[in-house]
Chains A and B, each alone.
Chain A
Amino acid sequence: AQTVTQSQPEMSVQEAETVTLSCTYDTSESDYYLFWYKQPPSRQMILVIRQEAYKQQNATENRFSVNFQKAAKSFSLKISDSQLGDAAMYFCAYRTRVGGGATNKLIFGTGTLLAVQP
């Protein structure tokens, strides 16, 4: 069974600085998706970025980028020029890409609570 591990329960960053959130996962599959979701105090789960395992290029979305190391099964999120609105719980998630009815199931890590200091 696949597992997702986020080893940093809490992180803190100064406004305008850069922070990296860690995520590792365990799987025997070769093709899958990885995601970072953001959950602000409003509780709304918001997709930040996604990575397809077959793509070697790291995904980027404006100030958010990932460092995807497939062999190491590592998927870290880098937030550049941190803003106060980035303060939230961040969840790493895994989903298999193999065909069939089970492909939509997301497996979440335990989350990292990010504080942004003004």
Chain B
Amino acid sequence: DAGVIQSPRHEVTEMGQEVTLRCKPISGHNSLFWYRQTMMRGLELLIYFNNNVPIDDSGMPEDRFSAKMPNASFSTLKIQPSEPRDSAVYFCASSFFRGSGNEQFFGPGTRLTVL
């Protein structure tokens, strides 16, 4: 199994630009999570999906952030317009949810720098 795949691994962009982060969960997993990691705030859950449906997006910082999961094998996190304070490492994780939950497997992360 290839594990959770994220792209790009690094992204450098200028303030105001649109940024799209991509995630491919582990095949067979039906839960997907987007996290953000910064020195100041640590690891924060932004949003998660069960069976492609957003369950909890209370961690999404503001309307500039949006996430979609059009099918079981792909998700995107979009920031538009981007700001320097969005600079962080963004992780995608997936798990197989079966009532009592299961371990989350993390992707390698995308390091985003907004200049």
Contact = CB atoms under 8 A, between A and B. Distances in A.
Task: Give the interface residue-count category, chain B.
Answer: 20 to 34
B34 interface: no
Contacts of A35: 103
A109 B56 CA distance: 20
Contacts of A104: 31, 33, 48, 50, 95, 97, 101-102, 104
A99 to B, nearest CB: 6
B42 A110 contact: yes
Interface string B47-62: 0101000011000000
Interface stretch (A19-27, A42-50, A56-64, A67-75): A42-50
Contacts of B97: 103-104
Given A103-B97, A105-B48, A43 B108 contact: yes
Contact of A95 (B42, B101, B111): B101
Contacts of B42: 108-111
A108 B45 CA distance: 9
A91 interface: yes
B45 A44 contact: no
Nearest to A35: B103
Interface of A: 33, 35, 37, 42-47, 50, 91, 95, 97, 99, 101-111
28 contacts: A37-B106, A43-B108, A43-B111, A44-B109, A45-B93, A46-B106, A47-B104, A47-B105, A91-B43, A95-B101, A97-B100, A97-B101, A99-B100, A101-B50, A101-B55, A103-B99, A103-B101, A104-B50, A104-B101, A104-B102, A105-B45, A105-B48, A105-B56, A106-B33, A106-B45, A107-B45, A108-B43, A109-B42
Interface of B: 31, 33, 42-43, 45, 48, 50, 55-56, 89, 91, 93, 95, 97, 99-106, 108-109, 111
